[in-house]
Amino acid sequence: MSAVLCRALRVSKFISVGALRFSSGCEQRLRGSLLSGDVDRFGGVTVRDFPPQINEDEFKDLLRESLGQWRSEGRVAVWLHVPITQSRLAAAAACHGFSFHHARRDVAVLSLWVGPGPDRLPDFATHQIGVAGAVVNESCGKVLVVQDRNKTQNAWKFPGGLSDVGENIGDTAVREVFEETGVRSEFRSLLSIRQQHKHPGAFGMSDMYLICRLHPLSYDINFCTHECLRCDWLDLAELAKTTETTPITSRIAKLLLHGLERGFHNIDLCVEELPAVYSGMFYQLYHRPLPEV
């Protein structure tokens, strides 16, 4: 072998080894691995873990390879749960057609439909749930009401607030009543549901407002002065006819009067817990009680 050829081979070997030595760890991963994710029952893939130091260009390449694999496997959708500390990856994902689906706290969720036909991914939740508790003292026909401090009109209403994620509406009513008034109570039934769209207090989305009937376990008022201007036990008949209240409060006061006079079984939507189709899960069904046979 000539000296020139030997020298050329040594240089070629050095360049090859050097390129491998100085390539980033992410670049090496691109050659041999893909993004890993959980497959749901609908055929979608959810990715929550990303290489910590990967840059946009590296992630763009990694995502391209992963999408190719998922498409070959017949997956129909991809969900990327991108933490705020890696928000740079959202721009790279957008290059592949991903768009924001929703965000909560420190995670943004991007989605892409990769199945056949038009995009069939559901929109994110469009409603907020507000729950109020009508605490009725059946012995004297009075109900617990408050006036909100942050309202322009000081109208009597039932204490309440927004339901937390994963919280049953009865638990919300009991919690909110105690936080606002200091009165302890227990859930008895669902009375009404109000639906309102383009609600200013729900960021322009839809609002569901539920009113529950509660039974008092204590009666002394110690209301929250940050949220409430006034709090009192008012006679139901007075609340039903006063002009210092909201239309829904007046209507429910009349409904409660009817129940007080003719039996709450005529107005109550009671709750029953039933097993869901998802293994090990349950749901609450609210309905009028069935007549006993």
Which pLDDT score, from 0 to 100, does residue 199 have? 86
Q: Tens of pLDDT along 225-271?
A: 989 999 999 999 999 999 999 999 999 999 999 999 999 999 999 99
Q: Tens of pLDDT along 168-186?
A: 999 999 999 999 999 999 9
Q: Tens of pLDDT along 63-90?
A: 999 999 999 999 999 999 999 999 999 9
Domain 127-287 listed as CATH 3.90.79.10 = yes
What percent of the chain shows pLDDT beyond 70? Answer: 88
Which pLDDT score, from 0 to 100, does residue 118 have? 93
**What is the per-residue DSSP string for the chain?**
--HHHHHHHHHHHHHHHHHHHHS-HHHHHHHH-----EE-TTSEEEE----TT--HHHHHHHHHHHHHHHHHTT--EEEEEEEGGGTHHHHHHHTTT-EEEEEETTEEEEEEE-SSSS--PPPPP-EEEEEEEEEEETTTTEEEEEEETT-SS--BB--EEEPPTT--HHHHHHHHHHHHH---EEEEEEEEEEEESS-GGGTTSEEEEEEEEEEES-------TTTEEEEEEEEHHHHHH-SSB-HHHHHHHHHHHHHHHH-GGGT-BEEEEEE-SSTT-EEEEEEPPPPP-
User: Higher pLDDT residue, 290 or 19?
Assistant: 290
Q: Which fold has domain 31-113?
A: Aminopeptidase (3.40.630)
Q: Tens of pLDDT along 118-147?
A: 999 988 988 999 999 999 999 999 999 999
Q: Tens of pLDDT along 48-65?
A: 999 999 999 999 999 999
Please check the confidence at residue 33 and state whether its pLDDT lies above 90.
no
What percent of the chain shows pLDDT beyond 90? Answer: 75
What are the residue boundaries of the structural domains of the chain, listed by start? 31-113, 127-287
- Which pLDDT band holds residue 41 (cuts at 50, 70, 90)? confident
List residues with catalytic annotation.
179
Which pLDDT score, from 0 to 100, does residue 152 have? 61
Q: Quick one: average pLDDT of 7-27?
A: 37
